[in-house]
Chain A
Amino acid sequence: METTKTIINYTHRQAGHCESGATSNLFKFYGLDISEPMAFGIGNGLYFSYIPFLKIMFAPMISFRNLPNTVFRRATQYLGIEATVIKKIKDPKEAMAMLDRNLEQGIPTGMQVGVFQLTFFPPEYRQHYNMHNLVAFGKEGNLYHISDTVMEFPQVLTYDDLLRVRYAGGAFAPQGKMYWINNLKPGIDIKPAIIKGIKKTVYEMIGIPFPLIGVKGLKWMARDLKKWPKKHGNEKASFYLGQILRMAEDFGTGGAGFRYIYGAFLKEAGELFGNHTELLEAADIMGKTANKWREFTYIGARNCKNRSKPEEDYGMLSDMLMGIAQNEEIVYRKLEKIKF
């Protein structure tokens, strides 16, 4: 049997966060040199929401990231790049045929997938998490060449496996979502895009008048954390705390719930704007806050290990989280006041 073989010369680079990594790699493929933190910052990856009355995986819903595909969509929009995003494809076969056509034309294509049935993924990570992104860059017979930024090396997936992960069910189902860049003209000025990106992030973190989103949500969660052991018992409190830490540290966040990546973005932006003192200061505080997040994980993990007898006082953890929230607020207030 004759096997068709098309492999695009696409460089796989590992990244901290799946979507901004994919976005940055796609931009680099078309010759626009944008690092992962830069793509993350321009595309408003940073976000926080805490929804205690919605239970996901038997614990309150906590999210440190924006809705899926926000990073790619906003980054291309702010940078003025022509891109196509197809949100929903009803027929799975048609979705795969579209992917094949793209690959034949030499377009690396990003896709949203579910993690649970992703065969090359570490088994420990395989939960029903549908906001993962990967890029297909080649086809060889029945096999697709995949660049997944969580993995160290490029991977392969069969036709059936890829179809299955693209049509995973559950919350935020991918429904065959795919995206690619049509046209990227050289000589794009990224400064205006950075300003737009920062303003939008600041709005999302402190501007939205709803108490469960952004810094307000973080403070709400800190207050709730104190009550969990009394309200739910130690066992469950430890599981809920574990959920916060899992969301902050695992699932490809680059550590500390994307705070490190955002700090790196602020620093890069500061250097780009001619050593802008306020931006660099903000980056510094963000870095310190991220270190505090990591400390919080180290201490919290002890409670997760010894579930029925908490080693650390939940009141202390709550105060720590409150301190983190206040530090973050300082950063956003600082960014709000900057006049470019």
Chain B
Amino acid sequence: MKESIDKSEHPDDVPGYCYNRELFYGFDKERGFTRELSYQNQSNQVIIRQSWDALEKRLEQVQEAVRSGNVSPIVYYMEKMLMELPMLSAYMGLNRLRVRWHMTPAGFRRLKPPMLERYARLFEITVEELKKPGFMNK
């Protein structure tokens, strides 16, 4: 069953990745439970791909919002790091409301350099990149 579905339903247009084989268990009537090393099969790659596609889509929306000045670049980098507000505030050690204030353009403008540096260190970028993300230049 596995092979027929693999070949007919999922053509090879899915970008596969193959640098680590994992251990998969299986079951069939004759051999009982089996263990085999293999790469992730096509349908698993589809569902992994899906979550990254969803991220890209969200990033595009956030880029648009940052360009039009509705939110601060912190939101963009937060999304890029796959974070959410509670997680970001936990990593920064700040109150959620304070982080939310930094997410607005007005709050972001008033940020002092030490705080900007802390954000930049968390996002692994420079302060200039934090102030002006790369996509703004295009």
Contacts and interface: CB of A to CB of B under 8 A. Distances in A.
Question: Do A and B form a real pair?
Answer: yes
Interface of A: 14-16, 37, 57-58, 116, 122, 124-125, 127-128, 149-152, 169-171, 173, 238-239, 242-243, 245-246, 249-250, 252, 254-256, 260-261, 263-264, 267, 283, 287-288, 290-291, 294-295, 297-298, 300-302, 304-305, 307
Interface in B20-62: 20-28, 32-33, 35, 37, 40, 43-44, 46-48, 50-52, 54
Given A169-B87, A255-B26, A245 B9 contact: no
Given A169-B87, A169-B91, A304-B47, A291 B20 contact: no
Nearest to B44: A249
Contact of B27 (A58, A149, A287): A287
Interface in B83-102: 83, 86-87, 90-91
A180 B64 CA distance: 50
A305 B42 CA distance: 11
Interface of B: 1-2, 5, 9-10, 17, 19-28, 32-33, 35, 37, 40, 43-44, 46-48, 50-52, 54, 81-83, 86-87, 90-91
A248 to B, nearest CB: 9
Contacts of B51: 57, 127, 239, 242-243, 246
Given A124-B17, A298-B43, 14 more contacts: A14-B22, A57-B82, A58-B54, A151-B20, A242-B47, A250-B48, A252-B22, A255-B24, A267-B33, A290-B27, A291-B28, A298-B5, A301-B46, A301-B47
A298 B47 contact: no
7 contacts: A128-B87, A152-B37, A239-B54, A242-B50, A300-B47, A301-B46, A304-B47
Contacts of B44: 249-250, 297, 301
A interface, over-half SS: helix
B87 A246 contact: no
A295 B1 contact: yes
A124 B48 contact: yes
A254 B35 CA distance: 9
A27 B82 CA distance: 36
Contact of A124 (B23, B52, B91): B52
Given A239-B54, A297-B43, A297-B44, A170 B24 contact: no
A151 B23 CA distance: 9
B93 to A, nearest CB: 10
A278 to B, nearest CB: 17
Contacts of A128: 82-83, 87
Contacts of A149: 23
Q: Which 10 A-B pairs have the closest CB atoms?
A: A260-B25, A287-B27, A301-B43, A264-B33, A169-B90, A242-B50, A254-B25, A170-B87, A301-B46, A169-B91
A116 B82 contact: yes
B122 to A, nearest CB: 10
B98 to A, nearest CB: 16
Nearest to B86: A170
A124 B28 CA distance: 30
Contacts of A249: 44, 47
A245 B51 CA distance: 11
Nearest to A247: B47
B37 A305 contact: no
Nearest to B5: A298
Given A245-B47, A298-B5, A304-B46, A16 B87 contact: no
A288 B37 contact: no
A15 B46 CA distance: 23
A254 B26 CA distance: 9
Contacts of B87: 128, 169-171
A282 to B, nearest CB: 13
Could you say which of B23, B40, B81 has the most chain A C-beta atoms within 10 Å of its C-beta? B23
A37 B54 CA distance: 34
A239 to B, nearest CB: 6
Could you say which of A14, A37, A149, A288 has the most chain B C-beta atoms within 10 Å of its C-beta? A14
A15 B35 CA distance: 9
Contact of B9 (A252, A267, A302): A302
A305 B25 contact: no
Could you say which of A127, A256, A287, A305 has the most chain B C-beta atoms within 10 Å of its C-beta? A305
Nearest to B91: A169
Nearest to A290: B27
